[in-house]
Amino acid sequence: MKLGLYGGSFDPVHLGHLLVAQAACEEFGLDRLCFIPAAQSPFKPGTNPAPAQARLQLLRLALAGQPRYAVDTQEIERGGVSYTIDTVRDYRRRFSGARLFWLIGADHVAKLPLWRDAEELAADVEFLVIPRPGEPSVPFPSPFRGATLKGFPLGVSSSQIRARVKAGLPVDLLTGPGVAEAIRANRLYL
Enumerate domains of the chain plus CATH numbers.
Answer: 2-153 (3.40.50.620)
Q: What is the pLDDT of residue 45?
A: 67
Sorting pLDDT into bands at 50, 70 and 90, what band is 138? confident
Q: How far apart are CA 29 and CA 12, in angstroms?
A: 26
The DSSP symbol for 157 reads: -
Amino acid sitting at position 62: A
- CB-hemisphere CA count at 13 Å for 80? 4
Q: How confident is the model over 161-170, as a mean pLDDT?
A: 96
Q: How far apart are CA 41 and CA 45, in angstroms?
A: 7
- Secondary structure (3-state) at 30: coil
What residues contact residue 66 under an 8 Å CB cut-off, 6+ apart? none
**Helical spans, DSSP H, in 29-126:** 52-63, 74-78, 84-94, 118-124
Say if residue 139's pLDDT is above 90.
yes
Q: What is the pLDDT of residue 155?
A: 80
Q: Are strands 69-71 and 99-105 parallel, antiparallel or unpaired?
A: unpaired
Q: Are 39 and 79 in contact (CB under 8 A)?
A: yes
Q: What is the pLDDT of residue 165?
A: 97
Q: How confident is the model over 154-163, as a mean pLDDT?
A: 90
Radius of gyration in angstroms for the set of CA atoms belonging to the chain, rounded to a whole number: 16
